[in-house]
Amino acid sequence: MKKFFVFVLVFVLLPGVILPVMAEDSGFRVSAPSGAPALSLATMAVDEPDAYTFVAADTIAAEFAGNNADFIIAPLNAGAKLYKAGKSTYKLGAVVTWGNLYFASQKADFALEDINGAEVTLFGENTINASVALYVLAENGITPGNVSYLAGAANTQSLLLTDENAIVLTAEPALTAAKMKNENITAYAVNELYKNVTGFDGYTQAALFIKAETLAEQPEAVAAFLEQAAEAVGKCTSDVEAVAEAAVKLEILPNVKVAVNAIPNCAIRWMNALDAKEQVEATANIDLTQFGGSVPADDFYYGAE
């Protein structure tokens, strides 16, 4: 599911009111990666089923550089790195996902201590997800014998299902789908290990970004959109079934059963940019190379003076 969808939201009559039909003059354009990040705005996107388009996952940098979407949901570090390099005008509006990673195995009585001295297969070499996974292991006194990499969570999911001795890093919703095929799988949340070290409930994984020009030209409409987006994100906790149904209609997830079980484990919640600043910097300091060499400057944050 390494895709991106683009959908159009239309504001008419009253600021912040989104109608389920296209108006003659379209409003904001929003792009987001499929999978866990897309779930955050699924209940908004489903009202425009004919208005979203999938593009390749490796075009996220081009999505920022193209400067076409008014809002982009993307890995926070990617947006920060591009902004620092002058390749993006998009400011951080809010953090929406806080880590959906899990260490998993179908080994009998699998425990985290089993990772000591063992072969562990991660996904996403040279990404912030891999950096966080290795960081939490080290800080919790766990040392793998060898670390190898596969391309994505779908790849490690496949290994998890086919090799009864494999220990892998996977992610939701792939983990839920795997557990439905093999009830012997045991998984441990990276977020729990992260909290042991930092005290934070997850790391800053994906975020909603705002195009600077849109913000300058339509500040009130942007604020209204962010309120709507925060409500949609909140439904990932308060109305999981509605989000699940929307996700299936949008083809983000294969069926409602997987969606209902996976969504609560995706750590989707809204935090405004300025409120998240400390946690953004905590994540960045795990691997500054993923953020362009330093923590983001103050002007990266929506709402900063």
Rounded mean pLDDT, 229-239: 97
pTM of the model: 0.89
Determine the pLDDT at residue 22.
30
Q: Which two tokens stand for residue 305?
A: 């003076």
Could you tell me the pLDDT band of residue 11, with boundaries at 50, 70 and 90?
Answer: very low
Contacts with 17 (C-beta within 8 Å, 6 or more apart), sequence order: 11
Q: DSSP strand E in 78-171: where?
A: 91-97, 101-105, 119-123, 146-150, 167-171
Q: Which two tokens stand for residue 72?
A: 């982009």
Could you tell me the pLDDT band of residue 49, with boundaries at 50, 70 and 90?
Answer: low
- Percentage of the chain lying above the pLDDT 90 cut: 79
- Consecutive H or E run containing 279: helix 273-284
Residue 70 has pLDDT above 90, yes or no: yes
Q: pLDDT by residue (tens digit) across 54-64? A: 555 667 788 89
Rg (CA), the chain: 19
Are 3-98+204-300 and 101-198 in the same CATH fold?
A: yes
Q: Which carries the bigger pLDDT value, residue 2 or residue 183? A: 183
Residue 113 has pLDDT above 90, yes or no: yes
How far apart (Å, rounded) are the C-alpha atoms in residues 232 and 5? 17
Q: Say if domain 101-198 classifies as CATH 3.40.190.10.
A: yes
Domain extents in the chain: 3-98+204-300, 101-198
Determine the pLDDT at residue 110.
97
- 144 Ramachandran zone, left/alpha/beta (phi>0; psi -120 to 50): beta
Q: pLDDT by residue (tens digit) across 207-216? A: 999 999 999 9
Q: What is the mean pLDDT of the chain?
A: 89
Q: Say if domain 3-98+204-300 classifies as CATH 3.20.20.70.
A: no
Pairing of strands 146-150, 206-210: unpaired
- Percentage of the chain lying above the pLDDT 70 cut: 88
Residue 5 has pLDDT above 90, yes or no: no
**Unique residue bearing structure tokens 């809204």:** 270
DSSP-assigned letters across all residues of 153-170: HHHHHHHHHH-TT-EEEE
Give the orientation angle of helix 273-284 with respect to helix 76-84, to 10 degrees. Answer: 90
